[in-house]
Amino acid sequence: MTIKGLFGKLTTFLKSESTFFKDVSFVFGGKVIVAILALILTPIIARLYLPESYGEFAIYNTIVQNLVVLGTLSLPLAISTVKKDEIPKVFTLALAVILSFTLIFTPLIYVFRHLLDYSLSTSIFSKYWYLIIAGFIISSGIAALAALNIRLKRFKLNTSVSVSEAFSAKLLNVGAGILNFGTIGLLISDVASKLINILILILKFPDRSVFSFTNKTHLKETLITQKEFPLYSMPSTWLATLSNQIIILIVAFLYDKNVLGQLSMAISLLNIPLNMLSNSFQPVITERLVNLRDGEKSHRFYDKMLLIISLISILGFTTIYLLPASFFTSFLGAKWSKIETIVNLFCWYYIILFIDQTFQSGFVVFSRQKSKLFFNIFDVVLLGIMSGFSILYKVSFETLLIFFIVIKSIVSGSRVIYLWKISNYEQGSKRILR
C-alpha cells in the first residue's frame, strides 16, 4: 500500500469515528491547559527548590502511588469497565476497601516508620508519615470517583477537575517555594491540590443510584464476583507501578538526593506530553473498547488507533530528543545540569511507553488480566536482577539508566504486540489497514 493510500484509509477512519475524536479532543483540550500551566510554572518552581527537595518528593510520591494500588485492590479499574447495573455494588465495595486499608495500615506505618526509613535510606516516613496517609486516602478516593465518571461518560468533569488540580498544585508550589518551605512545601501542595480535586468530585457526585447501601454479606458477594481484580489486576498493577518506580528507589539507595531530584525532574518533564496525550486517549478508548466487547461493530478500530498513536508518539518524543543541548539548563536553571542526559536517554523508552500506557485497559476489557500479570512479573524479575547487579558492582548513574530503559522498552513493546494480536483475534482482523 502506498503512503497516499495509507493516509486515505486514515482519513476515512477519522471521519467515521467523529464522535470518538470529539470526546478525545475535549479531554485533550483540558490536558493542553494542564501542560501549558506546567511549562509556564515549572521553570519558576525549579528555581525555587533544590534538586534535593525534588528527590525527597519523588520518594514520597512513589510510596503514595504504591499504597493506592495496594489499598484499592484495583477496584477503580473494575468500576470503569463493569456493566452499568453492577456499578453501585462495585463502587461501594471500592470505598469500603479504601476505608479498611486506612484503618489497618495507618497504625502500622506509624509504628514501623523508622524501620521503613532505614530500609529506603530516607527520612520520609519519620518526618511526613501523616502526609503519606493523607495522600493515600485522597488519591484513592479520586481514583474511584474518576473511574466512575469514565464509566458514566462524564469526561468533561474529569478534565475540569484535573485542570483545577494542576493549577492549584503549581500555584501552591510557587507560594511554598517563595516562603522557602522546601520539601514539606512540595508535599503539602500535593495533598492540598488533591483535596481540592476530591471535594469538586464529591460536590459533582451524580446521584445516590451509583451508591449501594449494603451489608457485609453483599460486599463479600461483590468481591467474589469481581475477584479477578484483586487476584490478578491488583498484583499486576502494583508490579507495573513498582517496576516503573523502582529506578527511583535504586537511585535513592545508590546515589545522593541531588541525583534523585535531577531524575525526578526529568521524568516529570517527559510526563507532561505523555500524560497530556495518553490520558486524553485512554479513557475514551477504554469506553469504546467496552462497547466493542459488548457487541458494537467497528472495522479494525484497535488496529487503526494503534497506528495513529504510534505516529503521534514517534513524532512527539523525537522532537523532544532533538531539542538543543542548552535548552534544559536555560529552561530550568544551571543547577539542573544532568537533565539533558536523562531526558535524551528516556525519550526512546517514552515512545514505546506512550503506546503501551494508552492501550493498557485492553488487558481488562479483553479479560487478559492473567497475561498482564505475567508481563509484569517478568518485568519486575528482570529489574530485580538489574538492581542486584547495579548495587553489587556500583555501576555509574548513566549505565543504570541504560539498563532500566532497555528492560522497560522490551517489556512495554512486548505488551503492545500482545494486545494487538489479541485485538485482532477478538475483532476477527488479520491485518492492519488492508
Mean of pLDDT over the chain: 83
Say if residue 15's pLDDT is above 60: no
DSSP state of 50: -
Range from 14-23, 160-169, 318-327 carrying the lowest mean pLDDT: 14-23
Burial class of 357 by CB neighbour count within 10 A (0 to 12, 13 to 18, 19+): buried
Say if residue 432's pLDDT is above 50: no
Question: What mean pLDDT do residues 143-156 have?
Answer: 83
- Whether 194 and 164 have beta carbons less than 8 Å apart is answered as no
Neighbours of 79 (CB within 10 A): 28
- 300-359 pLDDT, tens digit per residue, is 677 778 888 889 999 999 999 999 878 988 999 989 989 999 999 999 999 999 999 888
What was the pLDDT predicted at 31?
A: 62
Question: What mean pLDDT do residues 248-268 have?
Answer: 91
- Whether 419 and 369 have beta carbons less than 8 Å apart is answered as no
- 116-136 pLDDT, tens digit per residue, is 888 777 788 899 999 999 999
Residue pointed to by grid coordinates 535524551? 344
Say if residue 147's pLDDT is above 90: no
What was the pLDDT predicted at 408?
A: 95
What was the pLDDT predicted at 292?
A: 66
What was the pLDDT predicted at 212?
A: 62
DSSP state of 233: I
Question: What mean pLDDT do residues 86-111 have?
Answer: 91
Dist CA 253 CA 249 (whole Å): 6
For residue 396, what pLDDT band results from cuts at 50, 70 and 90? very high
- Whether 93 and 226 have beta carbons less than 8 Å apart is answered as yes
For residue 398, what pLDDT band results from cuts at 50, 70 and 90? very high
Question: What mean pLDDT do residues 134-153 have?
Answer: 90
Question: What mean pLDDT do residues 195-201 have?
Answer: 89
Range from 112-116, 188-192, 206-210, 414-418 carrying the lowest mean pLDDT: 206-210
What was the pLDDT predicted at 433?
A: 38
Say if residue 429's pLDDT is above 50: no
What was the pLDDT predicted at 10?
A: 45
Dist CA 57 CA 260 (whole Å): 10
